[in-house]
Amino acid sequence: MKYSNILKITGIIAMVLVIFAGIGCMSDTGESTTEDNQGTDSQQQDDVVLKVFHAGSLTIPFKELEQMYEKRNPNVDVRREAGGSVATVRKVTETGKQADVVGVADYSLVPNMMMPEYTNWYSAFAKNQMVIAYTEDSKYSDEINKDNWYDILRRSDVTFGLSNPNDDPCGYRSQMVTQIAEIYYNDSQVYDDLMASNTAMDTTSNDGTYTVNVPKSENINPNSDKIMMRSMETELSSALEMGEIDYFYIYRSVAVQHGFEFVELPSEIDLSSVKHEDMYSKVKVKRGNGDLSKGKPIVYGVTIPDTVNQKEHAVGFIKLIHSKDGQQVLENNGQPPIVPASTNNINNVPKKLREYF
């Protein structure tokens, strides 16, 4: 009886704590909002909660930035929520969840999904590139390089991971990389062998441009002997660590942050370089909901949605992202900052941020 009682009591205590913590936070935020307006002394300014929703691949740099920001502003509690970029935007636009800052792995999601109702500006602040990540336990890891990676992935005993193109920019970018590889390596079977024959996805070509057709998620039917598909790219990291898969398509930043080995792909196909934008744009991905994404360099975007409660700190947090310290954090995590950052409309950018564009 003792142990189960302890479990039960712990459960009850935890519940009570959660409830009181919840009530506490609610009243705290309420208070601090009014205090901000009145500008009262800092003693009462406890626990301003700043809600940051962001792409899974921004988790580590944003965690470091969170710590930095909280250290400099002890009264602020930055709460991050990671998810697929599309899902992250939907949390704000469809479920009406309150967010102060939104960071996505494809800046174009902001103009496409959030403008004009939820914001009227974005900052494109950092870059990334696609790589093929692996560990030394992966099959043929001693052979793989940037010229033969697609042949290694083709081998029947090799398994690889993909994130869902319908949910996650990393997912549709994996499709783009594989399709552009056909052009670059002059091998017309790359996409067929890796994707089309193992899933219900396929490509149609027209005048040297290609469209990858992704069915609705439940109909993608990946061959589970060959491909492991998950909603978010970060879920695949643990699969690689466990040896569940040999390779996966991922951002360089995630590979760096997890300490994975990775194949650096030619810049013509890895979606990293503005110089090769023409090459990238030859491939489009049509997602299950009909949306079309065109191949282009990977650029992260951040904005302040209209749901903002803590405008001042939202601006402060974005300022930190763009500052020298923020740039250093991004650099260390394999997501080189874009300096100066670019935006759709400098006049809509909060004044305190304009110096970074």
Partner 1 sequence: MPRIKTRLNGLGQINPMLVIFFLSLSILLFFVFITLSNMIVQQIVSDFSGLIEAVRDSSVLEAIFLSLYSGFLATLISFILGVPTAYLLARKDFIGKRIIESILDIPVVVPHTVAGIALLTIFGANGLIGDPLESIVQFRDALAGTVVAMLFVSAPYLTNSAREGFQSVDPRLENAARSLGAPLWKAFLFVTFPLASRHLLTGSIMCWARAISEFGAVIMLAYYPMVGPTLIYERFTSMGLSESRPIAVLLILVTLTIFVILRMISSGWRRYDRD
- Closest to partner 1 by CB, 36 or 291: 291
CB of 94 to partner 1, least distance (A): 5
Q: Walk across the sheet containing 130-134 and list its strands.
A: 227-230, 160-163, 247-251, 130-134, 261-264
CB of 357 to partner 1, least distance (A): 31
- Closest to partner 1 by CB, 46 or 235: 235
CB of 222 to partner 1, least distance (A): 6
- 180: its two tokens: 């552009």
CB of 322 to partner 1, least distance (A): 29
Provide the greatest CA pair distance for the chain: 74
CB of 286 to partner 1, least distance (A): 12
Q: Is 212 helix (H, G, I), strand (E, B) or coil?
A: strand
Which class for 217: exposed (0-12), middle (13-18), buried (19 or more C-beta within 10 A)? Answer: middle
CB of 218 to partner 1, least distance (A): 5
- 18: its two tokens: 């959660």
- Closest to partner 1 by CB, 7 or 21: 7
- Other Cβ atoms less than 10 A from the Cβ of 87: the count is 17
Length of the chain: 357
- Closest to partner 1 by CB, 3 or 208: 3
- Closest to partner 1 by CB, 124 or 228: 228
Burial 133-161 (b: 16+ CB within 10 A, else e): bbbeebbbeeebeeeebbbbbeeeebbbb
- Closest to partner 1 by CB, 81 or 147: 81
Burial 26-58 (b: 16+ CB within 10 A, else e): eebbebbeebbeeeeeeeebeebbbbbbbbbbb
| Residues at the interface with partner 1 (CB under 8 A) | 1-4, 6-7, 11, 83-84, 86-87, 90, 94-95, 159, 164, 166-167, 216-222, 224-225, 228-231, 235, 238-239, 242-244, 287-289
Q: What angle do CA 315, 320, 323 make, to 5 degrees?
A: 120
- Closest to partner 1 by CB, 289 or 345: 289
Cα separation, 240 vs 232, in Å, equals 14
Q: Are 185 and 146 in contact (CB under 8 A)?
A: no
- Closest to partner 1 by CB, 159 or 253: 159
Within 13 A of 217's CA, how many CA atoms are on the CB side?
A: 13
